[in-house]
Amino acid sequence: MTDAASPLFRPLAVRSLQLPNRIVMSPMTRSHSPNGVPGPDVAEYYRRRAAGGTGLIVTEGVAIDHPTAVDNPRVPHMYGDAALEGWRRVVDAVHAEGGRIVPQLWHVGPLWGAMNPKADPTLVPMRPSGVWGQVGVTSYGEEYVTRASEPTRAMTEEDIEQVIAAYASAAAAAAEVGFDGIALHGGHGYLLDSFLWDRTNLRDDEWGGDLERRSRFPATVVAVIRSAIDPGLPILYRFSQHKQQDYTARIAESPEELGALLTPLARAGVDVFDASIRRFETPAFEGSDLSLAGWAKKVTGTLSMAVGGVGIGTTLRENRATGAAPTRNNVPELERRMDDGEFDLVAIGRLHLADPALAATLRRGGPLPEFDRTVHETTLT
């Protein structure tokens, strides 16, 4: 399509957030914030994507203020004076280029210890029912899986209250720093997702059981964040079928089940569902070619965002084995689905590492950049 016709370059309003286009930088863990503090290199990294025309930047996952939120000491925090001052510099740099940016708040939940084998063994991972999850197709090594599969105690009411409060505090801090909204990582087997998945949530109280009760914890987190921030700031929520414990896992076997899980989140205040899948165009359920993002929009009536494999011919898991990823021009299919109203935004990850000015590249029609993990994931540029 021409620039004028492409749905990628149509503006969009999400609450008070005005986006100049539908291209979003997907969150990607970079581990360049020693002691949780984002420095000038992190500010420059995000500034370059804003200068390149990306409509919205979602930061890498950011730890909330809880002892087992994130085990990697180089993942940034959303608490503490030094970290918040670092984020203020990031936000100012992005805004100076006319960009918009939201932080992805993160608690790893059952996956504590996956990024750092030396994580404090005396700390108890936050798990709804004390279990790691069904072991299936995973990229984790045998040593970690064996260690993580040992049951721990289930989350207590006090645990739940503390984590909810930590999310609210992090969201309020992000708003005070100047971020343009809040994103939540609610997929991939992490804490919020572990309440939705029936292989990690075995509870029979108000926080587990049927589909609606399994959604209560993440919906409560969304609700307290909505109360903690300005009503004009949007909330984005990433969810997924697959888990890092098992790439074949599913939280919903039908559109009806998906609606039962996501509708409480929409009612609590989610403005955009970020549907994480390995290839954005993969049909979510039998009998329809509608994607996961498409179904999220259809069953909730809420804006949705597709993500997964834009411009790249291999999945992230496959690419880890080979390094270089072949280019695959699926942008016309992306535009077709967006033009049909299937979803409203697209989050692009790896190509944003290969080309900080990706939005400008797409605007002029390419060619698409080539992603090489050995080059683009090892340095912060």
Give me the DSSP letters along 189-210: TSHHHHHH-TTT----STTSSS
Q: Quick one: average pLDDT of 302-328?
A: 78
Percent of the chain with pLDDT over 90: 91
Q: Quick check: 321 pLDDT over 70?
A: no
Identify the pLDDT of residue 373.
83
pLDDT at residue 366 in the model: 85
Average pLDDT over residues 205-229: 98
Checking if the pLDDT of 340 tops 90, the result is yes
pLDDT band at 243 (very low <50, low <70, confident <90, very high): very high
Q: What are the distances in angstroms from CA 77 to CA 37, 85, 166, 220? A: 7, 11, 12, 22
Predicted confidence (pLDDT) at residue 318 exceeds the cutoff of 70: no
Q: Give the pLDDT band of residue 1 (cuts 50, 70, 90).
A: low
CA dihedral 62, 66, 68, 74 (to 10 degrees): 40
Q: Report the pLDDT value the prediction gives residue 90, as an integer from 0 to 100.
A: 98
Please state, in angstroms and rounded to a whole number, the distance separating the CA atoms of residues 291 and 279. 9
Phi and psi, residue 144, nearest 5°? -65, -45
Cα(168)–Cα(19) distance, rounded to whole angstroms? 25
The partner residues of 25 in beta bridges, in order of sequence, read: 57, 348
23: three-class secondary structure by DSSP: strand
Give residue 326's pLDDT.
79
Residue 322 pLDDT grade (very low, low, confident, very high; cuts 50, 70, 90): low
Locate the domains of the chain by residue range.
7-376
What's the chain's average pLDDT? Answer: 95
Rounded mean pLDDT, 80-101: 98
- What value, to the nearest 5°, has the Cα angle with vertex 262 and ends 258 and 267? 150
pLDDT given at position 81: 98
pLDDT of residue 323: 54
Mean per-residue pLDDT for 81-100?
98
Residue 193 amino acid letter = D
Is the pLDDT confidence value at 3 over 80? no
Rounded mean pLDDT of 245-256?
Answer: 98
pLDDT band at 327 (very low <50, low <70, confident <90, very high): confident
Q: Is the pLDDT of residue 6 over 70?
A: yes
pLDDT at 218: 98
Model confidence band, residue 5 (pLDDT cutoffs 50, 70, 90)? confident
The proportion of the chain whose per-residue pLDDT surpasses 70, expressed as a percent, equals: 96
Q: What is the mean pLDDT of residues 281-298?
A: 98
Mean pLDDT, residues 217-234: 98
Over residues 259-264, the mean pLDDT reads 98
pLDDT level of residue 132 (50, 70, 90 thresholds): very high
Residue 379 pLDDT level (bands cut at 50, 70, 90): confident
Superfamily of structural domain 7-376: Aldolase class I (3.20.20.70)
Query: Quick check: 377 pLDDT over 90?
Result: no
Residues with active-site annotation: 190
Looking at residues 227-255, what average pLDDT do you find? Answer: 98
Does the pLDDT of residue 233 top 70, yes or no? yes
Average pLDDT over residues 168-192: 98
Task: Read off the pTM.
Answer: 0.96
